[in-house]
Structure 1
Amino acid sequence: MYTVILYAHILSAALSIGPFFVLIPLVNRIRESDTKSLSGLVATFRSATRLVMHAGHVLVATGVLLVWLGPWPWYSPWILMTLAVMFSSVFFLARAFSPVLKKFAEPEADQSALAEKLKRSLWIYIMLLLLMLWFMVDKPTLWQ
Structure 2
Amino acid sequence: MIQIQQEDFSMGAEYDALRTQASGDGAIVTFTGLVREFNDDASVSSMFIEHYPGMTEKSLMNICNQAKQRWNLGQIKIIHRVGMLEACEQIVFVGVTSRHRNDAFTAAQFIMDHLKNDAPLWKKEGNPKAMKWVATKASDKAALANWSK
- TM (norm. structure 1) is 0.28
Which has the greater radius of gyration?
1
Greater strand share, structure number: 2
- TM (norm. structure 2) is 0.28
